[in-house]
Structure formats: C-alpha cells, structure tokens
Amino acid sequence: MALEQTIYRELKATAGVWQAAALLGAFLVAAGGAWFYMEHHGHAVTGMNNQIVWGLPHVFAIFLIVAASGALNVASIASVFGNKHYKPMGRFSSLLAITLLVGGLAIVVLDLGRADRLIVAMTSYNFKSIFAWNILLYNGFIAIVAVYLVLQMMRRLDYKWVKLAGLIAFLWRLALTTGTGSIFGWLVARPGYDAAIMAPLFVMMSFAFGLAVFILVLLTLLRLNDRPIGDELLMRMGRLLGIFAAAVLYFTAVQYLTASYAAEHRDMVRFILVEGGIYTLLFWGVQVVLGGLVPMALVFLNPSRSSTLLASILVVIGGFAQVYVIVIGGQAFPLQIFPGYEVIEGFHEGIVNPYTPSIWELMLGLGGVALALFAAGLGAKILRVLPTNLSDANLAAKG
C-alpha cells in the first residue's frame, strides 16, 4: 500500500460549485439592495427602534463573530495541542475563521447609522470603550490568523513557527471572544447583561458554534468536489461538538441560577425562562433542547456520520436562538428606572419592548452569512487549503 500523504488542492470548479456561488451571489445582491434601502431611508424602515436598538442584523453579526473565533479551534487543536487528526484541516479552519469574522463585521458596519464614517471608527478611539478594544481585537485577529495561515502553507518551514503562530492566534481568539462577551457583560444598566459570566459564556459558545459551522462548511465543500472524509474523523468531531454543547448548557445554567439568586434580577430571569413568550420558547425549545440536549444525545448515544451532521445543524440553529435571546431578549426586558413604582403614564416605561424584524434586516443578516461563505469558498478555490483526501485510512497511514 502506497503511503499517501495530505495533499492540498484548490477546489475544482464543478457545476455544483458554480451553483452554490450563484446562490450566495444572489443573497449578496439582495443584501446590497437592502442596505442601500436602509441607508437611504434611515433606520425608520427597520423594526429597530429606540428601545430595541440592536436588532436582527446584530444577532447575525454576533453569531458570525463568535463562530469565527470558534472556527479556528480545529487549527488550534492541531498546532497548539498537537492533535494529528485535525492537522490536515488546519488551513481551512484558519481561512474560515477570517471569512466568518469579515461577514459578521460587514453586517455591523453596514448597520451603523453613519456607515460612511467608518474611517472615524478607525481614527478616533475612546480607549475606555470595550467596543473600541474590540475593533482592535477584530483587526488584529484577521492579521494574526492570516499570518498563521501563510505559515501553515509554507513548505520546508520549521513547524515550531507554525506552533508559535498557532499559540498566538489561540490566545488572541480567547481575548476576542472575551471582548465580544464583555460588550454585553459590562453593560451595568441592563439586568439581562451586567454579568462577568458573559465573557466565558461567549468563549464556550464560540467553541460550539464555530466547530458546528466548520463541520457544515467543510462537508459541503468536500461533497461539491467529491473528496472523501472518514466516518471516524467525523464522529470524533461530533463528540467534541457534544462536549462543547454541554459546556454551553453548563454556563447558561450558571448564568441564570446566579441571576435568579439576586432579588433585583429575578424579574428578568422569570421573563426569559417563564413569561417571555417568544424568548421563553426560543430559550427552552430551540436553544436548550434542539441546540443542546438533542445534539448531545445524537453524538453520544448514536455516534455516526449523519449524527454529527445533524448535530452540527442543530447547534447552529440553537446558537442562533441563544444569541437572539441574549441580544433581543435582553433589550425587550424593560429597564427598571423607578423601583417601587408602577408607571401609569410614560413612554414605554416598565413594559416589554416589542420587536418585529423587517425583511431588510433579515436580508442584511443573511447577506453577511453569504459573504462569509462565499469568501470561504473563493478562498478554497484559489488557495490550497482543502485536503484532497480526509478518509480515515489516509489519516491513519499518515500518522
């Protein structure tokens, strides 16, 4: 038996690849149109208002940004923690991390009231703002992971440099997700946020969402080019996904248990967990059961190729619901400005803030996803990042 090794080749432009590109392109065009419409008419045409100031675009954006740092995990596991099974996927993992972040940031930027002033955000910094820190963390992430990707692709390079770059990228991605979580965790005013656990919760969410997105995108691209991927490898990734999903549930449990212990936050906990209507449904039904318990049951009780695939899809859906509950639910719960008083006349005082996303916000959000996927596909088309053969036999032979 000939000793095979990992060979990276550009994606071949099959009909399927072209169809996928055309589909994503359509989403991009739609998002461009939606953005132009929102930019021209102002945010009056969106469902966002002075109570729900961040809406569906931010849900998409935060999901993508969180998933971006998680998508890098596969590369980190290989080069930082020395796992040989994940090494062939390291290049694509790095590429996907960059494109997911770009997709997420594109949504945030295009949703700005003054997107034309993006340059101001790059030149005028308030260093006390966690948001300003995040701008540096995001730009730094793209630069560091790009270098890491190049080092992985260099031939005849001492592997210690890849390891070093991988370590820096891994530490940076932890900082990045801590920063993203702290955008909410440091908001003292709102009972739904204002908690240190937001940072580790977001780190754990990124592990789960990022791996799930990585599995789905990888499987799609491999299938488009009829490249094999082994059952054993997929089940291995499925098990890891199950552990991450369990960890997300754990942090979520601690988050709400802690909040329910404080009398001042009890109303908020009751809102999300019991009386919140759509938010309660999304929390229990989609986030906890569909996005947490079911994937865990699939990968641990019935490990298989299709279990991993299905679990990945469910983790993505559950993750999206979780971000929705955090971002929108946290704003829908009313601010308690006058404790001890009942507001009998006022402006949306003490009542749950309604939010109905508009089609434009949905199109913009989906456009960000399309951008991330299109860029990942394009990267795989022009760079040698995807291995030709990920079958178990090949991996074993190589090891």
Partner 1 sequence: MTNRAEMTRRDILKSGAAASTVTLGPGVTLMAFGGTPAEASSRADAGKRWGLLIDASKCSADCSDCVTACKVENGWGQDMEHGHIDPEQAPEWIRKVTLRDKETGREVSAPVMCQHCEDPPCVDVCPTGASMKRIDGIVQVDKHICIGCRYCMMACPFKARSFVHEAVTDQSVNAPRGKGTVESCNLCAPRIDSGRIPACVEACEKAGHSAILFGDLKDPDSPISKALRDYDTVALRSDLELNAGVRYTNL
- Kindly tell me which residue out of 7, 29, 118, 196 binds partner 1, with binding defined by CB under 8 A: 118
Dihedral over Cα of 139, 170, 62, 255: its sign: negative
- What contacts 396, CB < 8 A, 6 or more positions away? none
Using DSSP, state whether 350 is helix, strand or coil. coil
* CB of 6 or CB of 51, closer to partner 1: 51
Q: Is 43 in the site for partner 1 (CB under 8 A)?
A: yes
Q: What are phi and psi of 106, to 5 degrees?
A: -60, -40
| Site map (CB under 8 A) of partner 1, residues 327-346, x = contact | ----x---x-xx-xxxxxxx
* CB of 132 or CB of 235, closer to partner 1: 132
- Restricting to residues 147-176, name those near partner 1 by CB under 8 A: none
Q: What's the token pair of residue 367?
A: 């456009």
Q: What are phi and psi of 360, to 5 degrees?
A: -65, -40
* CB of 47 or CB of 228, closer to partner 1: 47
> Residue 14's closest CA among 225, 162, 170?
225
Q: Is 263 in the site for partner 1 (CB under 8 A)?
A: no
The gap between the terminal CA atoms of the chain, to the nearest Å, is 14
* CB of 128 or CB of 155, closer to partner 1: 128
Q: Show the CA angle centred on residue 167, arms to residues 161 and 172, nearest 5°.
A: 130
Q: Would you call 335 exposed, middle or buried from its count of C-beta atoms within 10 A (0-12, 13-18, 19+)?
A: middle
Q: Which residues pair with 8 in a beta bridge?
A: 387
- Kindly tell me which residue out of 7, 23, 29, 53 binds partner 1, with binding defined by CB under 8 A: 53
**Distance in Å, CB of 206 to partner 1, minimum:** 21
- Kindly tell me which residue out of 42, 155, 160, 226 binds partner 1, with binding defined by CB under 8 A: 42
| Site map (CB under 8 A) of partner 1, residues 278-317, x = contact | ----------------------------------------
Q: Are 329 and 192 in contact (CB under 8 A)?
A: yes
**Distance in Å, CB of 194 to partner 1, minimum:** 10
- What contacts 81, CB < 8 A, 6 or more positions away? none
> Residue 62's closest CA among 285, 291, 319, 244?
319
Q: Is 120 in the site for partner 1 (CB under 8 A)?
A: yes
With CB under 8 A, what is the number of residues at the site for partner 1? 49
* CB of 51 or CB of 304, closer to partner 1: 51
* CB of 95 or CB of 328, closer to partner 1: 328
* CB of 105 or CB of 211, closer to partner 1: 105
- Restricting to residues 352-371, name those near partner 1 by CB under 8 A: 353-354
CA 300/CA 240 separation, integer angstroms: 10
**Distance in Å, CB of 157 to partner 1, minimum:** 38
Q: Is 262 in the site for partner 1 (CB under 8 A)?
A: no
Helix axes 130-153, 90-111, angle to 10 degrees: 150
- What contacts 38, CB < 8 A, 6 or more positions away? 45, 46, 111, 360, 361, 364
Dihedral angle, C-alpha 388, 391, 396, 399, nearest 10 °? 30
Q: Is 49 in the site for partner 1 (CB under 8 A)?
A: yes
- Kindly tell me which residue out of 2, 3, 15, 128 binds partner 1, with binding defined by CB under 8 A: 128
**Distance in Å, CB of 274 to partner 1, minimum:** 21
CA 55/CA 363 separation, integer angstroms: 13
Q: Is 130 in the site for partner 1 (CB under 8 A)?
A: yes
**Distance in Å, CB of 62 to partner 1, minimum:** 13
**Distance in Å, CB of 204 to partner 1, minimum:** 23
Q: Is 37 in the site for partner 1 (CB under 8 A)?
A: no
Dihedral over Cα of 122, 127, 132, 136: its sign: positive
**Distance in Å, CB of 126 to partner 1, minimum:** 4
> What does the binding site for partner 1 look like in residue numbers (CB under 8 A)?
41-44, 49-51, 53-54, 108, 112-115, 117-118, 120-121, 124-126, 128-132, 135, 183, 186-190, 331, 335, 337-338, 340-349, 353-354
